[in-house]
Amino acid sequence: MKPVPLDQLCINTLRMLSIDAVQKAKSGHPGTPLDAAPMAYCLWQRFLRYDPADPDWPNRDRFVLSAGHACALLYSLLYLCGVEAKGASYPSGDRLAVTLDDLKSFRQAGSHCTGHPEYGWTSGVETTTGPLGQGAATSVGMAIAERWLAATYNRPDYDLFSHNVYALCSDGDMMEGLSNEAASLAEHLRLSNLCWIYDDNHITIEGPTGLTFTEDVATRFLAYGWHVERVSDANDLMLLDKAYQTFIDTHDRPTLIIVQSHIGYGAPHKHDTNKAHGEPLGAEEVRLTKEFYGWDPDADFKVPEGVVAHLRAHMGKRGDAAHAAWRKLFAVYRAQYPDLAEQIDQMQQREVPSGWDAALPSFGADAKGLATRDSSGKVMNAISEHVPWLLGGAADLSPSTKTNLEFDFAGDFQAPEAEQAVSYRGRNFHFGLREHAMCAIGNGMSLSKLRPFVSSFLIFTDYCRAALRLSSMMELPLISIWTHDSISLGEDGPTHQPIEQLASFRAMPGMIVLRPADANEVVEAWKVIMHLKDRPICLVLTRQPVPTLDRSTYANAGGVARGAYVLADTPDGKPDVLLLATGSEVALCVAAYEQLKAEDIKARVVSMPSWELFESQPREYRDTVLPPTTTARVAVEEASGFGWERYTGFDGAILALHSFGLSAPSKVVAEHFGFEPAHVVAAAKAQI
């Protein structure tokens, strides 16, 4: 073994641990760790402000591995840097985020080294990545959060929030439309705390990127307005160092560092080929690679002496000192600004400030009623005024989704230099027609412990499901608000009328779908939302007015919290037929119920705004609402009927859609598809 300087030894240790982990697992991606180790090392060792003893320190720099397939590199870093475990996934408490045993059991059940990085399961993983583009877009949300926190909570001499956000991106990350959307917005917002490192290794799974990707990425980012740096050799620490320093010194725009690299660097037969990407090198190639690096080919999972100490002496020491200084600063800040400090504490715990519900409206009975998008807009405004970190916006639809925060001090979130009237303290976001980036950015903001909401029409969830799925997987309480929720949106027609979207979210693990029936159910929906800490929610709202039900006649809307409740019933509580509905179809069922009642037919209306909340109730409650012996049932929803059989069984009736919608005025559309009291009444009678 030829001697190598300590930096190089650390870098090669990252490389060798990564290829050993992949080889032992007989599964994984060795090529990127081999090429990107110097980029990650240089950043962590010389720049990242990160305390290994507390990976949750709010003012830490963030490192996002958007190229999630290269996770062996991240795990090796976490291990060598001695990052400690924190969080619910570590019942035993005192341990490292990643142990050598975890690395040796890479991609095996129980290991904290999973096949792609999983937030919440492995401390130090800042966000779950793997589906390409997500990490990059999420990092924009983290950078936004830092700007907002700094603008809102920093005070003269108190730079509580001052961190940077880095994302390591692959060729694939650059190709995905998601990252394009996010990059365009990041520059518009002039997020100078954001740095993307593009590992330009020219290889994807099908072969050289020249097969399909020949654009000039640097010029594209210049077109957005980013600062662009080039590093012509991924192994040149001096060039890398200079590029990172230039990012630090750039104060008016985000930075892209394009690093020319060689996938599988050092693997003699796989270097620069797609063979290095997604499969183990093979035992013999691992030996040859180790020889290339002057490593003992027989030593697996070897950490040479001096490596850990070298990382501690720089990366560790810097992070420790920065965190200690911050703690001290925060203690003084707390004395001077106790209210603000308390807000920061609450935010970190995902708690709701007391008094959040001081201005909650309630709505009187009103046959004409109002659209649930309108009542939600009122309720959300009433809450937001009392929850400083509740903030968000729409994908160019806020006038339609009614999600604009309208109180005086709400303001627009914009780069301060753009206009005098706006600043990074603003709470209204203009995401543009970029639904996918909006949701990934929402995840990033939530990961930084803000309480973001995002919004568009329900149909456009089709553009951003992948990000919403990650909200659910990461257990983030992202609030997503989807209006124009059925064919009753009317004239815009089938391209805008959701059909299968409700079912598709009900099938998604962890996601809560909540479709309130009237203004008072909207109030209750927001009570549920505000107390969610670890689940995302889709709040599904109408474009068209729906009656505000008379709660002195029908049951209190508080039942929303249990997901489903008996809204109208027979006096003896023994109905012959159940009418089941959500959202705007509840009023339709109430109308049918009144007709049936007039004919002495014993019906019950069950409002079912959230199946997920209902399923989590005890069986006893569920059986009270839906008595198992009452199998005469009619479910009504202006959407695909898919899934309703859960509540109607083989024999119940489902009034739903079997096709795409129709372009016509709202009432005409509803009638065309049979959403009229008479049809519900007829179906109920046929059931008995």
Stretch that binds a second copy, among 2-10, 150-158, 223-231, 562-570 (CB under 8 A): 223-231
Residue 27 found at the interface with a second copy (CB under 8 A):
yes
Nearer to a second copy, 25 or 83 (CB): 25
Nearest to 20 by CA among 293, 306, 273, 236: 293
Q: At what angle do helices 6-25 and 31-46 cross, to 10 degrees?
A: 140
* Inter-residue contact 422 to 413 (CB < 8 Å): yes
Q: How far is the CB of 239 from a second copy (least distance, A)?
A: 23
Q: Which two tokens stand for residue 43?
A: 């950043």
* Inter-residue contact 626 to 578 (CB < 8 Å): yes
Q: At what angle do helices 585-598 and 677-687 cross, to 10 degrees?
A: 60
Q: Which two tokens stand for residue 126?
A: 């800042």
Nearer to a second copy, 25 or 267 (CB): 25
Residue 655 found at the interface with a second copy (CB under 8 A):
no
Nearer to a second copy, 259 or 470 (CB): 470
Residues 121-160 that bind a second copy (CB under 8 A): 128-133
511: left (phi over 0), alpha (psi -120 to 50) or beta: beta
Q: Which secondary structure element, helix H or strand E, spans residue 537, and what is its range?
A: strand 537-540
Task: Report d(CA 43, CA 63) in Å as an integer.
Answer: 9
Binder of a second copy out of 169, 185, 371, 387 (CB under 8 A): 185
- Over the Cα atoms of the chain, what is R_g? 28
Binder of a second copy out of 331, 433, 678, 686 (CB under 8 A): 433
Residue 188 found at the interface with a second copy (CB under 8 A):
yes
Report the DSSP pairing between strands 207-208 and 203-204.
antiparallel
Residue 617 found at the interface with a second copy (CB under 8 A):
no
Task: Report d(CA 204, CA 176) in Å as an integer.
Answer: 13
Residue 475 falls in the annotated catalytic set: no
- DSSP of 392-448, one letter per residue? EEESS-HHHHT----STT--BB--TTT-TT-BTT--EEE--S-HHHHHHHHHHHHHT
Task: Report d(CA 525, CA 26) in Å as an integer.
Answer: 48
Stretch that binds a second copy, among 76-84, 148-156, 184-192, 592-600 (CB under 8 A): 184-192
Task: Report d(CA 546, CA 121) in Å as an integer.
Answer: 43
Residue 230 found at the interface with a second copy (CB under 8 A):
no
Nearer to a second copy, 227 or 436 (CB): 436
Integer CA distances (angstroms), 678 to 145, 547, 683, in order: 52, 18, 9
Residue 302 found at the interface with a second copy (CB under 8 A):
no
Residues 437-456 that bind a second copy (CB under 8 A): 437
Q: How far is the CB of 640 from a second copy (least distance, A)?
A: 4
Residues 333-362 that bind a second copy (CB under 8 A): none
Residue 181 found at the interface with a second copy (CB under 8 A):
yes
Stretch that binds a second copy, among 35-43, 547-555, 581-589, 651-659 (CB under 8 A): 651-659
Residue 104 found at the interface with a second copy (CB under 8 A):
no
Nearer to a second copy, 9 or 137 (CB): 137
Q: How far is the CB of 221 from a second copy (least distance, A)?
A: 8
Stretch that binds a second copy, among 33-41, 169-177, 340-348, 353-361 (CB under 8 A): 169-177
Task: Report d(CA 73, CA 19) in Å as an integer.
Answer: 9
Q: Which two tokens stand for residue 493?
A: 């027609």
Q: Which two tokens stand for residue 448?
A: 């930084």
Stretch that binds a second copy, among 252-260, 261-269, 542-550, 661-669 (CB under 8 A): 661-669
Integer CA distances (angstroms), 25 to 109, 131, 281, 321, 322, in order: 11, 21, 11, 37, 37
Nearer to a second copy, 43 or 397 (CB): 397
Residue 627 found at the interface with a second copy (CB under 8 A):
no
Residues 463-522 that bind a second copy (CB under 8 A): 463, 465-466, 469-470, 472-473, 490-496, 499-500, 503-504, 506-510
Cα 315 to its chain centre, rounded Å, is 29
Nearer to a second copy, 127 or 235 (CB): 127
Residues 241-280 that bind a second copy (CB under 8 A): 274, 278
Residue 317 found at the interface with a second copy (CB under 8 A):
no
Residue 211 found at the interface with a second copy (CB under 8 A):
yes
Task: Report d(CA 120, CA 107) in Å as an integer.
Answer: 16
Q: How far is the CB of 442 from a second copy (least distance, A)?
A: 15
Integer CA distances (angstroms), 303 to 179, 407, 610, in order: 36, 58, 52
| SS3 annotation, 174-221 | HHCHHHHHHHHHHHHCCCCCEEEEEEECCEECCEEHHHCCCCCHHHHH
* Inter-residue contact 607 to 585 (CB < 8 Å): no
Stretch that binds a second copy, among 50-58, 239-247, 347-355, 663-671 (CB under 8 A): 663-671
* Inter-residue contact 501 to 493 (CB < 8 Å): no
Residue 545 found at the interface with a second copy (CB under 8 A):
no
Q: How far is the CB of 347 from a second copy (least distance, A)?
A: 26
Residue 213 found at the interface with a second copy (CB under 8 A):
yes
Nearer to a second copy, 60 or 484 (CB): 484
Nearer to a second copy, 10 or 632 (CB): 632
Q: How far is the CB of 419 from a second copy (least distance, A)?
A: 9
In the chain, the N- to C-terminal Cα span, in Å, equals 85
Cα 221 to its chain centre, rounded Å, is 25
Task: Report d(CA 279, CA 23) in Å as an integer.
Answer: 9
Q: Which DSSP category does 618 fall into?
A: -
Q: Catalytic one among 181, 229, 435, 612?
A: 435
Binder of a second copy out of 9, 286, 383, 394 (CB under 8 A): 394
Binder of a second copy out of 335, 364, 572, 650 (CB under 8 A): 650
Binder of a second copy out of 9, 10, 14, 25 (CB under 8 A): 25
Residue 202 found at the interface with a second copy (CB under 8 A):
no
Residue 227 found at the interface with a second copy (CB under 8 A):
no
Residue 6 found at the interface with a second copy (CB under 8 A):
no
Q: At what angle do helices 31-46 and 237-249 cross, to 10 degrees?
A: 50
Nearer to a second copy, 12 or 687 (CB): 687
Stretch that binds a second copy, among 81-89, 138-146, 206-214, 573-581 (CB under 8 A): 206-214
Q: What are phi and psi of 14, to 5 degrees?
A: -60, -45
Residue 118 found at the interface with a second copy (CB under 8 A):
yes
Task: With CB under 8 A as the rule, give the number of residues binding a second copy.
Answer: 112
Q: Which secondary structure element, helix H or strand E, spans residue 640, and what is its range?
A: strand 633-640
Binder of a second copy out of 53, 87, 212, 367 (CB under 8 A): 212
Site string for a second copy, 33-72 (x = CB under 8 A): -----------------------------------x----
Nearer to a second copy, 212 or 362 (CB): 212
Residue 282 found at the interface with a second copy (CB under 8 A):
no
Residue 653 found at the interface with a second copy (CB under 8 A):
no
In the block, tokens 């035993």 appear at 92
| Residues labelled as active-site residues | 435
